[in-house]
């Protein structure tokens, strides 16, 4: 069964610093991979997705993620954190079935 | 509205009661999903509809949980004999016909509290 592991349930960075949120997946075949963001009291919103095209995927709000098959990773990065980036971030994987399987989530806190 | 709409936004009930949660997907989206999100956890898949039929209900935890989508649009998640462990945010999502890349559009969720 496919699964997703997010390393670090809570990440804290200073405003302007690099954001790195880690995601590893387990799958024998490269799947579709996603990052979703959940702001307080809002629904999940798609940040970006990998669908076997370019391995470096750019998303909204300056985020990007790189698919690395050799490491089975899909880490999310942003060069310079902004206060408005504070939220919960979820990595998700989809392969043969239609359903998305989500990781446990990483809460990102931005310090002024 | 343009997005996925879920009602009620909050529901408090007593153990043993029956609960219905409603989801109105984005117009024209044929696929509809229910997920459950417990505190501090990621969303957990419950059931997926393509049109009126449940294409995958493998995530329903037991036979107290049931979902319908009789006309291929609005869906209702039904929970019988609620237990305290059912307390969670129930998320609904929809996606367009023919979209195999898996992007889902989520509602804001229905928070269920079982006392």
Cβ separation B41–A104 shorter than 8 A: yes
At residue A85, the 3 state secondary structure works out as helix
Number of neighbouring beta carbons within 10 Å of residue A38: 22
Judge residue A17's burial from the number of C-beta atoms within 10 Å of its C-beta, 0-12 exposed, 13-18 middle, 19 or more buried.
middle
Q: Is the pLDDT of residue B5 over 80?
A: yes
Percent of chain B with pLDDT over 90: 78
For residue range B59-73, list pLDDT tens digits in order. Answer: 999 999 999 999 989
pLDDT top residue among A16 and B2: A16
Longest dimension (CA), chain B: 41
**pLDDT score recorded for residue A12:** 97
**pLDDT score recorded for residue A53:** 75
CA A11 vs. chain centroid, Å, equals 13
Strand A10-14 with A106-111, pairing: parallel
Integer Cα distance of A50 and A58 in angstroms: 9
Q: Are B92 and B33 in contact, with CB atoms under 8 Å apart?
A: yes
Token couple for B49: 């509809």
Cβ separation A46–B31 shorter than 8 A: no
Longest dimension (CA), chain A: 43
**pLDDT score recorded for residue B40:** 86
- A105 closest CA partner among B63, B89, B1: B89
Q: How far is A60 from chain B (nearest CA, A)?
A: 14
**pLDDT score recorded for residue B98:** 55
**Any chain B CB within 8 A of the CB of A10?**
no
Residues forming a β-bridge with B53: B50
**pLDDT score recorded for residue B1:** 54
Residues 52-91 (B) with a CB less than 8 A from some CB of A: 55-56, 59, 91
Q: How far is A112 from chain B (nearest CA, A)?
A: 25
Q: Are B82 and B90 in contact, with CB atoms under 8 Å apart?
A: no
Candidate from A97, A98, A105 with C-beta closest to B42: A105
pLDDT interval class at B85 (50, 70, 90): very high
- B23 closest CA partner among A43, A47, A105: A43
**pLDDT score recorded for residue A3:** 86
Who's near B115: CB < 8 A, 6+ residues apart? Answer: B12, B13, B14, B15, B84
A42-46, A101-105, B40-44, B98-102: which has the minimum mean pLDDT?
Answer: B98-102
- In angstroms, the Cα distances linking A5 to A8, A49, A51, A81, B33 are 9, 17, 19, 23, 22
pLDDT interval class at B2 (50, 70, 90): confident
A13-17, A30-34, B24-28, B54-58: which has the minimum mean pLDDT?
Answer: A30-34
- A90 closest CA partner among A56, A53, A63, A55: A63
Can you give the pLDDT of all 112 residues of chain A as single tens digits?
Answer: 668 999 999 999 999 999 999 999 987 666 789 999 999 888 899 999 988 778 899 999 999 999 998 899 999 999 999 999 999 999 998 876 668 889 999 999 999 9
Cβ separation A43–B55 shorter than 8 A: no
């Amino acid at each position: 069964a496919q699964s997703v592991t997010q390393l670090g349930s809570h990440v804290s960075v200073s405003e302007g610093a690099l954001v790195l949120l880690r995601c590893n997946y387990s799958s024998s075949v490269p799947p579709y991979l996603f990052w979703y963001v959940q702001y307080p009291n809002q629904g999940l919103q798609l940040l970006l997705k990998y669908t076997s095209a370019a391995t470096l995927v750019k998303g909204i709000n300056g985020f990007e993620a790189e698919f690395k098959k050799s490491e089975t990773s899909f880490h999310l990065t942003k060069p310079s954190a902004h206060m408005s980036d504070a939220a919960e971030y979820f990595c998700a994987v989809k392969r043969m079935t239609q359903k998305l399987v989500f990781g446990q989530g990483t809460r990102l806190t931005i310090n002024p | 509205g343009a997005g996925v709409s879920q009602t009620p936004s909050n529901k408090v009930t007593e153990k043993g009661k029956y609960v219905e949660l409603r989801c109105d997907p984005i117009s024209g989206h044929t696929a509809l999903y229910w997920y459950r999100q417990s505190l501090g956890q990621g969303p957990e898949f419950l059931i997926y509809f393509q049109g009126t039929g449940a294409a995958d209900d493998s995530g329903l935890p037991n036979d107290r949980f049931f979902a319908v989508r009789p006309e291929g649009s609005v869906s209702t998640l039904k929970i019988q004999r609620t237990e305290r462990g059912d307390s969670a945010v129930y998320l609904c999502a929809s996606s367009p016909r023919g979209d195999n890349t898996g992007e889902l559009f989520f509602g804001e969720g229905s928070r269920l509290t079982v006392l």
